[in-house]
Structure 1
Amino acid sequence: MQDALMQQAIQYAQEHETLWDRSVDGVFGVHQQDPAPWNRLLGPLRDRGPVTGVVVVDGETVASWGEPERADLTFSVAKMYLALVAGVAHDRGLLPDVDEPVRARVPGIGFDSGNNALITWRHLLQQTSEWEGERFGVPDQADHYRAVTFGAPPAGVKGERRPLQAPGTYWEYNDVRINQLSYALLHLFRKPLPEVFREAVMDPIGASDSWSWVSYDNAWVNIDGEMMPSVPGGSHWGGGMSISSLDQALIGQMLLNEGRSREGKQIISQSWVRAMREPCALAPYYGYLIWLNERRRMFPSLPASSYFGVGAGSSFTWVEPERRTVVIVRWLNAAHADTLFAKILAAVDAR
């Protein structure tokens, strides 16, 4: 039996389910908020499950609810996984210097001229690249002036063309540029990123085989004569990562362990995991495709050391180093996240 405080937290989560419908035929997805012609799907979506969660303290699962074994879409939590794939590239020597221009290792894919030639891997990982172009039928303009819950409010209307700045001088949450990062990593590995993620991360941490990382229908690329999918870092226009809460918790535990599996094997180098948590100078609440609780501005009830993968819907991977805790929450109304997390924290502290 869960203790009373944890039961109260679980009940609170279940009482504050996302406003999204459970069926993709209803109010479901990010693309529906885009102006035409970008408010259309390019890849598949799947119906969702109920409010779901897992709480792991020092490697022990102390609470779970909903359907934690269900492989559900996780939207932009997948950006965290892209950052881990970039870490694999770094550890293998394919990406030795994040401040090197992207064009130096992957020429001919959109980084060869103008301001795009100045873009580094760090710019892409911190969302300060200002990359200009089109990827799989969607231009970077589609996410200009995009508002995100935890970022500074934009100065214009989403989808209106914004004057671009020099790379590294402006922060914007932009899914087209994330897809361009994934495209660049595909060309760096010359191997589908889901295969890289499986062999380098998921299999070594003991994850299940139920997860899948799916591209848009039109996002197949010829690499060395073989057609390969270029996967998105979310599900803005469909596709993306479907994964169980239990597998997400294993990834969170690996991050909590500074890149090591439960058995102590180094999966991602400690230096890369720490680099992921370094605040972006322009957006100190953001690292390498993860959200930071800098000055507790994201979640006032939580320690500043906490960090997160956050996806629309809403889905959260919360890593709390001070208490050796990982929390996965799926399909929560994000307006109630801080209160829920405070209740979970109180329950963990009362153990």
Structure 2
Amino acid sequence: MRTIKFLYVILLCTSSLVAQDNFYFPESNAEWLEKPSKDFKINADKLLEALEFAKNNEYSGSRDLRIAILQGFEREPFHEILGPTKKRGGPAGMILKNGYLIAKWGDTKRVDMTFSVTKSFLSTVAGLALDKGLIANTNDKVGQYVWDGTFGGDHNGKITWEHLLQQNSDWSGELWGGKDWADRPPMEGGLDDWKFRALNEPGTVMEYNDVRVNVLAYALTHVWRKPLPWVLKENIMDKIGASTTWRWHGYGHAWTEIDGLQMKSVTGGGHSGAGLFINTEDMARFGLLFLNKGKWKSEQLISESWIKKAIAPSKPNVNYGYMWWLNKKGDRHWEGLSENIYYAAGFGGNFIVIDRENGLVVVTRWLEPGKIGEMMTLVNASLP
């Protein structure tokens, strides 16, 4: 009897794994194949509640994102728009189950800024560099690869690729006119205190800071010796059948010379304009790639070992990996939902949520940022 029970459990587990890995992948320039949610025993009425919630809780900031950015970061000294911006559309999103489209709302083909969701794309470019041997180890000091002084000195010389990816480097300096100390200053204390503060040992304190993210983009541009949008296009976006409409911008003056050629160094967000401009469907394709552990159809585009690194909690912040947010029990935990959920998040309520256990990708745009946990709870309530 015990043997029969044991075999039954194995069969159940094997069946579950086959169901999870039997994904549909949309072709290039083709309409996404839809399936009714009931085919997956998902409650259609409850799923509709999640959609209505997303549509009824639009981000409260201006649809003119130039205004929204300036208002959102008005506390920062010297803050200004340095790269392109674009007026946004209304709430939009898609929910995939095993790759199939089971729900969508809004204009999913409209190209909009996606702000810090860009960071998860930047992280992926770093992963490609590791997979291809351009970076030997994320624990290597960045100064071994970029020796122009950006990572010189007693403090910056200690910084590794992992420190930059986990946003705990405390890199000190100025890039493209942005001073690290002026970026997202703390609410308490004076700015002079922040400017002259003691630096934290790299790897010990997480500080969300776009200047330092842009330093990572700069360093990766020098490692790849080509513009990062080319790298992303050739290695990921073309292969997952993304549209030709997405763009990855840098600041107007962010040029660097490599091998005698002038190259634009892109940003990891839209904090001062620029970053990734992309439609909802291309974001969903990117999410589906990660849902399937870096594999698109039969081709492994980004290694599974990289994804494991990217979604491992950092020591200073259990909710943050390599520029992916993690639903672990910490300050950003969504109570009642799987701790294996991870997601990309950007200003204004842009999200790509990966729920591997349930075979789900949820992309939602222009949702009031504090409402994402509630929305995911509603999605979860619709599941069998």
User: Residue 24 of structure 1: CA displacement?
Assistant: 3.2
User: Residue 44 of structure 1: CA displacement?
Assistant: 1.1
Deviation per residue, 1:125-175 (Å, 9 max, x gap):
0111110000000110022545xxxxxxx7646783232111112211111
**Match for residue 14 of structure 1 among 39, 43, 55:** 55
Q: Which amino acid aligns with 1:275?
A: K
Counterpart residue number, 2:201: 166
Counterpart residue number, 1:85: 125
Counterpart residue number, 1:252: 287
Counterpart residue number, 2:303: 269
**Match for residue 179 of structure 2 among 129, 136, 139:** 139
Report if the CA contact (8 A) 2:76-2:184 is conserved: no
Bigger Rg, structure 1 or 2: 2
Q: Is 1:303 paired with 2:338?
A: yes
Counterpart residue number, 1:96: 136
User: What pairs up with 1:183-332 in 2 under 5 angstroms?
Assistant: 183-261=218-296, 263-295=297-329, 297-332=332-367
Distance 2:71 2:134 in 1: 33
TM-score, normalising length from structure 1?
Answer: 0.93
Cα 1:176–1:54 shift into 2, 3 Å: same
Q: Is 1:110 paired with 2:150?
A: yes
**Match for residue 61 of structure 1 among 87, 96, 101:** 101
Q: Which amino acid aligns with 1:127?
A: Q
Cα 1:314–1:140 shift into 2, 3 Å: same
Q: Which amino acid aligns with 1:215?
A: G
Give the secondary structure class of the aligned counterpart of 1:81: helix
Report if the CA contact (8 A) 1:75-1:234 is conserved: yes
Report if the CA contact (8 A) 1:31-1:40 is conserved: no
Counterpart residue number, 2:369: 334
Cα 1:201–1:157 shift into 2, 3 Å: farther
Cα 1:184–1:277 shift into 2, 3 Å: same
Deviation per residue, 1:15-59 (Å, 9 max, x gap):
110011112354x12674243542210011100011011000111
List alignment gaps of at least 5 residues for structure 2: 1-35, 38-43
Report if the CA contact (8 A) 2:97-2:360 is conserved: yes
Give the secondary structure class of the aligned counterpart of 1:254: helix
Cα 1:125–1:337 shift into 2, 3 Å: same
Aligned residues: 340
TM-score, normalising length from structure 2?
Answer: 0.85
List alignment gaps of at least 5 residues for structure 1: 147-153
Counterpart residue number, 1:150: none
Provide the aligned C-alpha RMSD in A.
1.7
Deviation per residue, 1:297-335 (Å, 9 max, x gap):
432142111001000101111000110110001000122
Report which stretch shifted further, 7-16 or 32-41: 32-41
Report if the CA contact (8 A) 1:10-1:65 is conserved: yes
